[in-house]
A and B are shown apart, each in its own frame.
Chain A
Amino acid sequence: MRPAADMKDFRRDLVGLLPKLRRFAMTLTRDATDADDLVQEACERAITRSHLWNGEGRLESWVYAMTRNLWVDEVRKRKVRGGGSMAEIFDQDEPSIEASGERAVYANQLQKMILSMPEGLASAFLLVNIEGHSYRETAEILGIPIGTVMSRLSTARLRLAAMLSEDAERRA
């Protein structure tokens, strides 16, 4: 059992992690509502299993991996319920992002563009390019071989470069 003070620190760290965790969840689900549900489930699981967290390494890596596992389970369940393939479930027509109030339309468009990339690319890009995880850490979090991480990263970067060109042409 984790001491109360440690538990308090753990909960505080988890709250601090929420914006990043939600962003990671968005790359998995590509849907704001699904992402919120997934984050909640991941946090519940992280708290009930906090005694397993040894405090070494990055807390986010541990929670991310848990989140990814939960999402894989959820996709499997949906597949069973809906009879569709994994690819169909991942391959949504358009990412769902709620643009709130005064949120810039452009930022919203950028997010949709990012999340419209084929499944797996955004997660790998986020973990390495934005959050500075090593290839090995990224592979462990996503449960894929390092070679796949490398391949997804280069593909994501080239796709993003193409989006940048399209975006520049559209805005010209």
Chain B
Amino acid sequence: MQQTKGLALEIRLSAYIDGELPEVERSELDALLSRDDNARALLERLRAGGTFGNKAFEDFLHDPVPLALVRQIKQGPGITPRFERVATANLPRRNTRIWPRLAAASLVLLFLGGASGFILGSRIDTPVLAPEAAEGPWIQEIADYHRIYARQKQHLVEVPASQAAEIESWLTSSVGVAFKIPDLSRRGLTFEGARLLVANGKPVGQLVYRDSDSNIFAICFLKKGSGEQPDQFSETIRGDLSLVSWEKENASFVVVGPSSDPALQDIAHAVAAVI
């Protein structure tokens, strides 16, 4: 508590608003306010200024934070957001002369040759993909799907949340993974409905959620044979999206949401516990 006797009245009333005065001074100001119109008017001005400032400062929280910085904090050093931002801002215009095009064409031909060799080679001796290597494409496809579907305003889902029982039976039979729709309302996420996707040539169930800022989150799952590394969660950041994946009982799961969301890991753990 602060002693304010002798200070200007606006300072004392400001401390009065903030509850920073000792009881004696508070009572003294209560008495003053009950008898002095000017003091009351000053108090109201201070309060009005505070309310007005609250509104303006609230808007700052809606400004986007630099995603590269989020990545750097989450994943450690190695990314320099300041450099990325500067580099993006000052990218020179592409040179449209012919020789770079020829160079690009050469690279394409080189790639096609390499790819052909790979395909021929893989027919002779097909390697078994490591779980991490096999996981890459499916995660990438999920990220690509999410970017497209999350922008859909009218047709965000195929089957709406109101048909929850239908969603569970439909996706269980289509994907081959038994599940229950997780209730994530305690985490501020409202279930919107579901979609059926295809990734790695397999059917993928997608449960779609929305938060209070209209950010879209999704739980995706597909049947997978290995069942290795249960209960191990790994987070991948793909630009504006973050994906937390894990495996459980012959199924692979991934939770996808904005990479700026610090709670995505927690959401994934909550989902894994109940789905």
- Co-complex (A, B): yes
The reply to whether B73 and A47 contact each other, CB–CB distance below 8 Å, is yes
> Which one, B2-10, B110-118, B245-253, is touching chain A?
B2-10
- Which residues of B1-38 are within 8 A (CB) of A? 2, 4, 7-8, 10-11, 13-15, 17-18, 20
Task: Please name the residue on chain A nearest to B19 by beta carbon.
Answer: A134
Given A39-B69, A154-B14, are A130 and B54 neighbors across the interface (CB < 8 Å)? yes
The reply to whether A40 and B81 contact each other, CB–CB distance below 8 Å, is yes
Q: In whole angstroms, how far apart are the Cα atoms of A8 and B4 in the complex? A: 44
Q: In whole angstroms, how far apart are the Cα atoms of A44 and B65 in the complex? A: 15
The reply to whether B52 and A163 contact each other, CB–CB distance below 8 Å, is yes
Chain B 259-272, CB within 8 Å of chain A: the 1/0 string?
01011010000000
The reply to whether A114 and B65 contact each other, CB–CB distance below 8 Å, is no
- Which residues of B40-76 are within 8 A (CB) of A? 45-50, 52-66, 69-70, 72-74
Chain A 42-56, CB within 8 Å of chain B: the 1/0 string?
010001000000000
The reply to whether B74 and A15 contact each other, CB–CB distance below 8 Å, is yes
Q: Does B82 reach chain A (CB closer than 8 Å)?
A: yes
The reply to whether B57 and A126 contact each other, CB–CB distance below 8 Å, is yes
Q: Does B101 reach chain A (CB closer than 8 Å)?
A: no
- Which residues of A94-146 are within 8 A (CB) of B? 100, 104, 107, 110-111, 113-114, 125-126, 128-130, 134-135, 146
Q: Does B147 reach chain A (CB closer than 8 Å)?
A: no
Q: How many residues of A contact B (CB 8 A)?
A: 50
Q: Does A78 reach chain B (CB closer than 8 Å)?
A: no
What is the minimal beta-carbon distance from A54 to any residue of chain B, in angstroms? 20
Given A15-B260, A22-B60, A40-B82, are A129 and B53 neighbors across the interface (CB < 8 Å)? yes
User: Which A residues touch B2, using CB under 8 A?
Assistant: 135, 146, 150
Given A19-B63, A23-B60, A37-B82, are A157 and B69 neighbors across the interface (CB < 8 Å)? no
Q: How many residues of B contact A (CB 8 A)?
A: 45
Q: Does B187 reach chain A (CB closer than 8 Å)?
A: no
The reply to whether A128 and B46 contact each other, CB–CB distance below 8 Å, is no
Given A19-B65, A36-B85, are A151 and B11 neighbors across the interface (CB < 8 Å)? yes
The reply to whether B54 and A154 contact each other, CB–CB distance below 8 Å, is no
User: Which A residues touch B48, using CB under 8 A?
Assistant: 160-161, 164
User: Which A residues touch B15, using CB under 8 A?
Assistant: 135, 150, 153
User: Which A residues touch B57, using CB under 8 A?
Assistant: 23, 114, 125-126, 130
The reply to whether B65 and A156 contact each other, CB–CB distance below 8 Å, is no
Given A13-B262, A26-B60, A111-B60, are A158 and B69 neighbors across the interface (CB < 8 Å)? no
The reply to whether B61 and A150 contact each other, CB–CB distance below 8 Å, is no
Partner of B262, one of A16, A36, A43, A159: A16
Q: In whole angstroms, how far apart are the Cα atoms of A44 and B83 in the complex? A: 14
Task: Please name the residue on chain A nearest to B11 by beta carbon.
Answer: A154
The reply to whether A160 and B50 contact each other, CB–CB distance below 8 Å, is yes
Q: Does A11 reach chain B (CB closer than 8 Å)?
A: yes
Q: Does A20 reach chain B (CB closer than 8 Å)?
A: yes
Q: Does A18 reach chain B (CB closer than 8 Å)?
A: yes
Q: Does A14 reach chain B (CB closer than 8 Å)?
A: yes
User: Which A residues touch B260, using CB under 8 A?
Assistant: 15, 18
The reply to whether A157 and B46 contact each other, CB–CB distance below 8 Å, is yes
The contact sample of 29 A-B pairs, CB cut-off 8 A, is: A12-B74, A19-B63, A19-B65, A22-B63, A37-B82, A39-B69, A40-B72, A40-B81, A100-B63, A107-B59, A110-B59, A113-B56, A125-B50, A129-B18, A129-B54, A130-B53, A130-B58, A150-B2, A150-B11, A150-B14, A153-B11, A154-B14, A157-B14, A158-B10, A160-B50, A161-B46, A161-B48, A163-B49, A164-B48
B residues touching A (Cβ–Cβ < 8 Å)?
Answer: 2, 4, 7-8, 10-11, 13-15, 17-18, 20, 45-50, 52-66, 69-70, 72-74, 81-82, 85, 260, 262-263, 265
